[in-house]
Structure 1
Amino acid sequence: MLVDPSAEDVAFRDEVRAFLRERLPPDIKARVDNGVALRRDDIMRWHRILYERGWVAPNWPVEWGGPGWTIGQKYIWDEEQGLAGAPRLISFGINMCGPVLIHYGTEAQKRHFLPRILSGEDVWCQGYSEPESGSDLASLKTRADRDGDLWVVNGTKLWTTMAHFANKVFLLVRTSQEAKKQEGISFLLADLDAPGVTIRPIHLIDGLHETNQVFYDNVRVPAENLVGEPGRGWDIAKYLLGHERMSGGSLGHQKKILSHLRRIAATDATSEGRPLIEEPAFRAKLARAELELKAVEALMLRALGGVSAERQLGVEANMIKIRGTELHQLLTELRMEALGYYAEPYVLSALTEGWNEPPIGPEYANGATPAYLHFRKVSIYSGSNEIQHNIIAKAALGL
Structure 2
Amino acid sequence: MHICFVTNEFPKKGFPHGGIGSFVKTLAVTLVKNGVRVSVVGINYTPENETQNIEGINVYRLKRSKLKGLSWFFNSRAINSKIKEIHQQNPIQIIESSELGLAFLSKIKEIKYIIRLHGGHHFFAESEKRKINRWKGFQEKRSFKKSDAFIAISYYVKNHTEKYLSYNSKPVAYISNPVDTLFFKPRENKSEYKNRIVFAGTVCEKKGVRQLIQSFPFVKKEFPDATLEIYGRDWFFPDGSSYIKMLKENEIPQLGEFAKDVHFNGLVSYNDIPQIYADASVCVFPSHMETQGLVAPEAMAMQKTVVFTKYGPGPEAIEDFITGLLCDPHNPKDIAEKIIWVLSDPVKAKMMADNALDFACEKYGLDNIVLQNINVYKNIVVT
Q: TM-score range by the shorter chain?
A: under 0.3
Q: Structure 1 length normalisation: TM-score? A: 0.25
Q: Structure 2 length normalisation: TM-score? A: 0.26
Structure with the bigger RCO (C-alpha within 8 Å, sep 6+) is 1
More helix by share: 1
